Structure 1
């Protein structure tokens, strides 16, 4: 019976008839360096206990196992094999394959190709804002964690390039204390304008974030309306909030006009019955404003 490689970690199998001396092995198709791969093995029929061994083989050096683990499984039973991946699976040694062999009450050998995802740590890059003016200071923070959600405490290299791909700053061996590190970059009074890039790289991790450097422009703001998620026919009012903030996070002061209406149905237009609306005007707002409309008038 062939080895099955599936992109999920566990399945439920059901069979009404199986051949003698047969087995099922289920393993993930994609693996990551440094992580533990859980492989499921089921011995359907065998003369006695079977020792199931799993090996990760590098095609460039098939005589050297990159990882190995085994488990003894009784006939009619299932078991899991915990296969610990090495911290590094270099691309030049690949491609890699998973070899499964059985000995004892059932002898078999099967092999299939693995997909190696070199990313074993996720990194997030944050800046204190998205756009900077010449002469300001860019504040950066880097957060890295493993797929287990535990912090990554190794070292990384941080570099910053301008819109012309010139290297403007570089820090080597930046240590992530509890998975977090920070740096700052003072901009000159005449920096290249446009999109700058922050790159973070390390052992099996890589991340990139951009920010804009531009001269003063008129402030832009965003308006967000949060109405109720639903209404029922017995409701007599509609309550919600309106939030207006500049792109740099400060509240917008001014007046707003709020219009509420029910979406018209086809036959409303057909019989010239447009939807009724409720309107509130000249409402003072300073960042956030709560509203309440009398829906019984619609």
Structure 2
């Protein structure tokens, strides 16, 4: 008798397990975006199967929002898509999948912003204390479009401490931001981190760009000029060049100190117009 009861329980368990529909879901549901799950009824169910999906969302204010999706007369053994949108204020979603002739299934899924990546780029790779960092940011959605939503940007020192934060409502265009480095700081590898608001601290939705902060001096200027036969002895053309260690050109005005070979007394010559380094300018000497 005991063996018969145990055998009946095992058979019921196997039957229940075999009558579970195959359900494929994404790892997380995307906020304010169309999400799709795939439901496959089993072959052993006689006739077409009716599918009902209940989406029960927990919102940030503690309330719930419920919507339903129905699909009738679906062929067994085939995957059938069911699509729905998730409210932008949702924290999590609970799905109840009911397929005729199958065991009802409960699925709990986290939600996340519809964001694939955030491209981050600084204007330089090396900075010194007190300098301004110019950042370009392009957030991209799963479908390859520019993400529209709130993003938090943070300036992080080598110890992992977040010094400055900006919360920006990303427009439908690439974004430009600036961060000012402190005058007194620790040298080393710094970062700017970006993460969407309501990301639930998911590691896959945290993005960063790194750069070095160190003490460096301006590189030397190189002056290139020559006087050929027949050229004016009172004016010559020269090129001033200087490159930062990261490869960028130094820019600014140029002051030329001239020396009289007889008196060895220096006197300063200032350009009438500021000259960008790398350009050619004329000096009256």
TM-score band w.r.t. shorter chain = 0.5 to 0.7
Is the 1:31–1:114 contact (alpha carbons within 8 Å) kept by the matching residues of 2? no
Q: Which runs of 5+ in 1 are unaligned?
A: 1-20, 220-245, 252-298
Residue 202 in 1 paired to residue 196 in 2? yes
Is the 2:19–2:102 contact (alpha carbons within 8 Å) kept by the matching residues of 1? no
Q: Which residue of 2 aligns with 1:275?
A: none
Residue 118 in 1 paired to residue 119 in 2? no
Is the 1:134–1:190 contact (alpha carbons within 8 Å) kept by the matching residues of 2? yes
- Bigger CA radius of gyration: 2
Q: Distance in 1 between matches of 2:81 and 2:162?
A: 49
Deviation at residue 140 of structure 1 after TM alignment: 0.6
Deviation at residue 212 of structure 1 after TM alignment: 1.9
Q: Distance in 1 between matches of 2:97 and 2:194?
A: 37
Q: Which residue of 2 aligns with 1:214?
A: 214
Structure-2 change in CA distance of 1:128 and 1:33 (3 Å):
same
Q: Which runs of 5+ in 2 are unaligned?
A: 1-17, 200-204, 220-243, 250-285
Could you say what secondary structure the match of 1:26 adopts?
A: strand
Q: Distance in 2 between matches of 1:50 and 1:201?
A: 42
Task: Summarize the alignment of residues 12-31 of structure 1 with structure 2, pairs less than 5 Å apart.
Answer: 24-28=21-25, 30-31=27-28
Q: Which residue of 1 aligns with 2:53?
A: 54
Q: Which residue of 2 aligns with 1:83?
A: 84
Deviation at residue 149 of structure 1 after TM alignment: 1.0
Deviation at residue 211 of structure 1 after TM alignment: 2.2
Q: Distance in 1 between matches of 2:211 and 2:247?
A: 16
Deviation at residue 66 of structure 1 after TM alignment: 5.1
Q: Deviations over 1:227-278 (max 9, x none)?
A: xxxxxxxxxxxxxxxxxxx972469xxxxxxxxxxxxxxxxxxxxxxxxxxx
Q: Distance in 2 between matches of 1:165 and 1:30?
A: 29
Deviation at residue 53 of structure 1 after TM alignment: 0.9
Q: Distance in 2 between matches of 1:188 and 1:74?
A: 64
Task: Summarize the alignment of residues 1-298 of structure 1 with structure 2, pairs less than 5 Å apart.
Answer: 24-28=21-25, 30-34=27-31, 35=33, 36-42=35-41, 44=43, 46=45, 48-57=47-56, 68-76=68-76, 78=78, 79-90=80-91, 97-102=94-99, 106-116=100-110, 118=112, 120-121=114-115, 122-163=117-158, 167-172=162-167, 174-203=168-197, 204=199, 205-216=205-216, 248-249=246-247
Structure-2 change in CA distance of 1:169 and 1:117 (3 Å):
same
TM-score normalised over the length of structure 2: 0.54
Structure having the larger proportion of residues in strand: 1
Q: Deviations over 1:173-217 (max 9, x none)?
A: x23222421112344554432233323233335433332210128
Structure-2 change in CA distance of 1:179 and 1:47 (3 Å):
same
Is the 2:21–2:40 contact (alpha carbons within 8 Å) kept by the matching residues of 1? yes
Structure-2 change in CA distance of 1:75 and 1:247 (3 Å):
same
